[in-house]
Chains A and B, each alone.
Chain A
Amino acid sequence: MLKKRTRDDAEIPMSSLADIAFLLLVFFLVVTTIDVDTGIGMILPPIPDDIEPPPVRERNLMNILVNAQGMVLINEEPAAIANVRDQVRRFIDNHGADPNLSESPDDAIVSIKTDRRTPYNVYIDMLDEVMGAYEELRHEASMDRFGVPFTSLEQGSERRAEIQEMYPKQISIAEPDEG
């Protein structure tokens, strides 16, 4: 008796599957925000203990000051932001040739000082130029030695470390003035 009964088709309708998937897809497309996760990396200097910092010879130190008006002073002389890169490059890559510039890239320290009212974007532009100088020098060293651009060297590889050691980024943030 029961066997005679015709059963309904036990299939789930699949035709709307694509529509549902599309709906979800559109939802995620709208919700997705590609986050900014790029930036300029820096290491802050630790809080000084009572130990005096090791003396640095004046020629090995490049003082960059950005004042409240957004003007850049390199070793007390005004400079345009566009010139910062060149000046930093000459300073680092001097190898003792000019007695006023650094003795070697190892010794060269770029010191950055800002005023409390310095505009942030000027500071970033200036920092960008300094980073650009290091990047250029590393790129050239890498092309010279390995024949490939620095950016193509793998993270953590020996070659990369070697170039980084040739031109170590020694950027110091000066102690802020009191008050």
Chain B
Amino acid sequence: MSKFQKKAAKTKQSVPTSAMPDVVFMLLIFFMVTTVLREVELQVQIDYAAAENIEKIEQKRLVSYVYIGPERLGGGRLGETRVQIDDALVDDIGAIRNIMYDKLLEQPRLIVSLRVDRDSEFGIITDVQQELRHAGTLRINYSTRRQM
């Protein structure tokens, strides 16, 4: 009996904490590297549609986003469906052609990612697609969530 008691008394009960700052720093660096601070201020409300057979866009550099959804008004109200490119709402759909053409000149392998609210009607998307065709940016991607 006494043998066992002696052994139990010898073991240390504390967890070594000296490596904790290292661990925390590692996590910190991971999050710092992966964080993308939001580049654009969204002025339209977007609730993504979900789909099963989706692919990941590997090269983020190539992507340019077009946001389509109901405009956010003050006080949580929603307005008409609008199109937003970069930081500004597009008033004239016909202007998309020039905007996209300029982007295509900068990045010839441009992918346009359409981030569309799930309750939008397809007419406005047809218009945007026609503009994209005129601009020559034919690679598009409908942003969707993975279906659970």
Chain A residues engaging chain B, CB cutoff 8 angstroms = 17-18, 21-22, 24-25, 28-29, 31-33, 35-47, 66, 114-121, 123-125, 127-128, 131-132, 135, 155, 173, 176
Q: Are B35 and A39 in contact (CB under 8 A)?
A: no
Please name all residues of chain B whose beta carbon is closer than 8 Å to the beta carbon of A45 when the two chains form the complex: 133, 138
Question: How many contacts A-B (CB < 8 Å)?
Answer: 145
Q: Are A28 and B32 in contact (CB under 8 A)?
A: yes
Q: Are A124 and B132 in contact (CB under 8 A)?
A: no
Chain B residues engaging chain A, CB cutoff 8 angstroms = 20-21, 24-25, 27-28, 31-32, 34-38, 48-58, 60, 63, 111, 113-123, 125-126, 129-130, 132-134, 136-147
Q: Are B60 and A44 in contact (CB under 8 A)?
A: no
Please name all residues of chain A whose beta carbon is closer than 8 Å to the beta carbon of B34 when the two chains form the complex: 32
Interface of A is mostly: mixed
> How long is the Cα–Cα vector from A121 to B52 in the complex, in angstroms?
13
Q: Are B133 and A43 in contact (CB under 8 A)?
A: no
> How long is the Cα–Cα vector from A22 to B31 in the complex, in angstroms?
12
Can you identify 13 A-B contacts, CB atoms within 8 angstroms? Answer: A21-B21, A25-B28, A29-B31, A32-B31, A36-B48, A38-B54, A38-B56, A44-B133, A66-B122, A116-B126, A117-B121, A118-B121, A120-B119
Q: Are B57 and A17 in contact (CB under 8 A)?
A: no
Q: Are B57 and A120 in contact (CB under 8 A)?
A: no
Q: Are A18 and B54 in contact (CB under 8 A)?
A: no
Please name all residues of chain B whose beta carbon is closer than 8 Å to the beta carbon of A36 when the two chains form the complex: 48, 115, 143-145
| 8 smallest beta-carbon distances between A and B, as pairs | A116-B123, A28-B31, A128-B51, A131-B53, A118-B122, A121-B118, A39-B141, A124-B49
Chain B residue nearest to A48 (CB atoms) is B133
> How long is the Cα–Cα vector from A39 to B58 in the complex, in angstroms?
11
> How long is the Cα–Cα vector from A88 to B49 in the complex, in angstroms?
22
